[in-house]
Structure 1
Amino acid sequence: MNTVFIVQHVHLLMPQEEEDVKLIGVYRSLQSAHAAVKRMASAPGFRDHPNVVDPSYAGVGTDQGFHISEYRLDKDNWTSGYVTQIN
């Protein structure tokens, strides 16, 4: 096994439209990740946005719901650093 599947749930906190992200779990297979979504989709809060998000569709609020991402093990995924902007 060289990859894992991470399931997260995203919804927007109003009125600032801040993302609230919850890590659901890490799974050995895509099938297990989808099974986790199926188990959680009817739970309070999650049921407000129960669908798996299609990352190829972009629009306001379209990222709310479950996200399934595949990650390779023993590989850096964030390599560019970051800058914090303070207003």
Structure 2
Amino acid sequence: MEPLFVLLHSMAETGRVKVVGLYSSLDLAEAARERARGLPGFIDEPDGFSIEQYEVDRDHWPRGFVRL
């Protein structure tokens, strides 16, 4: 199965993360990032974007996590 690309935006001061969208290709996710960079809120934090690749139907935190 083909991977999905998740476009995320996080704010450094709060650590909050927003899912901007899910895309079928890296090119589509990068194009969405460029569109979002000019929108209210995002324009103030243009470096807060990241794109993550995920496989569908697979656990991505198989060992859990530790709170710091």
TM-score class, shorter-chain normalisation, is: 0.7 to 0.9
Give the % identical residues: 40
Structure 2 distance, partners of 1:49, 1:84, is 26
Aligned to 2:64: 81
Q: What TM-score results when the alignment is normalised by the length of structure 1?
A: 0.69
What's the Cα RMSD here?
A: 1.6
Aligned to 2:51: 68
RCO higher in structure (CA 8 A, sep ≥6): 2
Which segments of 5 or more consecutive residues in structure 1 lack a partner in the other structure?
52-64
* TM superposition shift of 1:37: 0.5
Structure 1 distance, partners of 2:61, 2:19, is 18
Greater Cα radius of gyration, structure 1 or 2:
1
Moved over 4 A (4+): none
Q: What TM-score results when the alignment is normalised by the length of structure 2?
A: 0.86
Which segments of 5 or more consecutive residues in structure 2 lack a partner in the other structure?
none
Q: Deviations over 1:39-82 (max 9, x none)?
A: 1101111112223xxxxxxxxxxxxx101000111111011123
Q: If each structure's helix is expressed as a fraction of its own residues, which one has the higher value? A: 2
